[in-house]
């Protein structure tokens, strides 16, 4: 089975990586999507967002919302393509759990909102964004992500659309076949790239 055009693009620009990776969950994996390898390329990001914008053009959302960090860029670009406004769900200013809208963000009562994010694994940032939206008089019309690697395990109670699906095997460190084979462990996002 061939990869989706988005996965082919991610592989071509080096964003879809093969190796031995330490994930934020503490689990290990043999593949990783480095979203910033895409988001550093405005034209590639524009193209990646086009499918989401086309999918929701007829629905005409009033606002496109994304969680920090990668969701900010995607929300802006999808909103730009749709002629909508953009808003960003940031981590709580007081260090608490969850997200909130700050910096003067307000919503018109009844506004139709599309939530977008980059890589869906457990859905935590999207759930936090939906919880923050629940405090406002808006209608969430859907969630769209670039890559769904959840294996279909996430349900937000609204339509979920993804530009690509990616099945990535993960293991607890003690059961990791890559550790058993002695492959170096890489922690994405660190300066050196290797886990310490």
The pLDDT of 150-170, averaged and rounded, is: 89
Q: Is residue 106 part of a domain?
A: yes
The pLDDT of 95-104, averaged and rounded, is: 91
Q: Is residue 42 part of a domain?
A: no
C-alpha to C-alpha distance for 118 and 108, rounded to whole angstroms = 26
C-alpha to C-alpha distance for 194 and 188, rounded to whole angstroms = 8
State whether 59 and 138 are in the same domain: yes
Tally of structural domains, the chain? 2
C-alpha to C-alpha distance for 184 and 161, rounded to whole angstroms = 35
Residue 194 has pLDDT above 80, yes or no: no
Using DSSP bridges, classify how beta strands 138-148 and 111-120 pair: parallel, antiparallel or unpaired: parallel
Instruction: Name the strand (E) or helix (H) holding 30.
Output: strand 28-33
State whether 56 and 28 are in the same domain: no
Residue 192 has pLDDT above 60, yes or no: no
Structure tokens at 75: 């929300």
164: left (phi over 0), alpha (psi -120 to 50) or beta: beta
State whether 187 and 159 are in the same domain: no
Q: Is residue 44 part of a domain?
A: no
Task: Quote the pLDDT of residue 1.
Answer: 42
Task: Quote the pLDDT of residue 185.
Answer: 96
Task: Quote the pLDDT of residue 3.
Answer: 67
Q: How does residue 195 score in pLDDT terms, banded at 50, 70 and 90?
A: low
Residue 196 has pLDDT above 90, yes or no: no
Average of per-residue pLDDT values in the chain: 91
Q: Is residue 40 part of a domain?
A: no
State whether 131 and 71 are in the same domain: yes
State whether 155 and 191 are in the same domain: no
Which residue range is the domain that position 3 belongs to? 1-33+167-196
Task: Quote the pLDDT of residue 140.
Answer: 98
State whether 94 and 159 are in the same domain: yes
Task: Quote the pLDDT of residue 73.
Answer: 96
Residue 2 has pLDDT above 90, yes or no: no
State whether 54 and 89 are in the same domain: yes
Q: Is residue 149 part of a domain?
A: yes
Query: What ranges in 2-96 are assigned the alpha helix state H?
Result: 5-12, 35-39, 42-56, 70-82
Nearest to 52 by CA among 117, 132, 124: 117
Instruction: Name the strand (E) or helix (H) holding 127.
Output: helix 124-133
Q: How does residue 191 score in pLDDT terms, banded at 50, 70 and 90?
A: very low
The pLDDT of 120-148, averaged and rounded, is: 94
Q: Is residue 180 part of a domain?
A: yes
State whether 101 and 157 are in the same domain: yes
Residue 193 has pLDDT above 70, yes or no: no
State whether 7 and 68 are in the same domain: no
Task: Quote the pLDDT of residue 122.
Answer: 82
Task: Quote the pLDDT of residue 67.
Answer: 96
> Over the stretch 53-68, which tens digit does the pLDDT of each residue have?
999 999 999 999 999 9
Task: Quote the pLDDT of residue 142.
Answer: 97
State whether 84 and 172 are in the same domain: no
State whether 152 and 171 are in the same domain: no
CATH number, residue 137: 3.40.50.2020
Per cent of the chain over pLDDT 70 is 95
Q: Is residue 43 part of a domain?
A: no
State whether 72 and 20 are in the same domain: no
């Amino acid at each position: 089975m061939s990869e989706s055009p988005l996965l082919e693009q991610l592989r071509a620009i080096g964003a879809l990586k093969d190796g031995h990776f330490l994930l934020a969950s503490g689990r290990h994996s043999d593949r990783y999507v480095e979203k910033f390898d895409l988001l550093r390329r405005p034209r590639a990001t524009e193209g990646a967002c086009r499918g989401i914008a086309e999918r929701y053009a007829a629905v005409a959302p009033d606002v496109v919302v994304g969680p920090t960090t990668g969701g900010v860029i995607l929300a802006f670009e999808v909103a730009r393509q749709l002629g909508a406004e953009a808003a960003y769900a940031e981590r709580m200013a007081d260090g608490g759990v969850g997200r909130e809208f700050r910096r003067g963000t307000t919503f018109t009562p009844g506004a139709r909102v599309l939530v977008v994010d980059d890589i869906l694994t457990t859905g935590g940032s999207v759930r936090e964004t939906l919880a923050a939206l629940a405090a406002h008089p808006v209608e969430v019309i859907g969630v769209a992500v670039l890559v769904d690697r959840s294996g279909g395990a996430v349900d937000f109670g609204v339509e979920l659309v993804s530009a690509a699906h990616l099945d990535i095997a993960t293991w607890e460190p003690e059961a990791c076949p890559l550790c058993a084979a002695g492959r170096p462990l890489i922690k994405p996002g660190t300066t050196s790239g290797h886990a310490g």
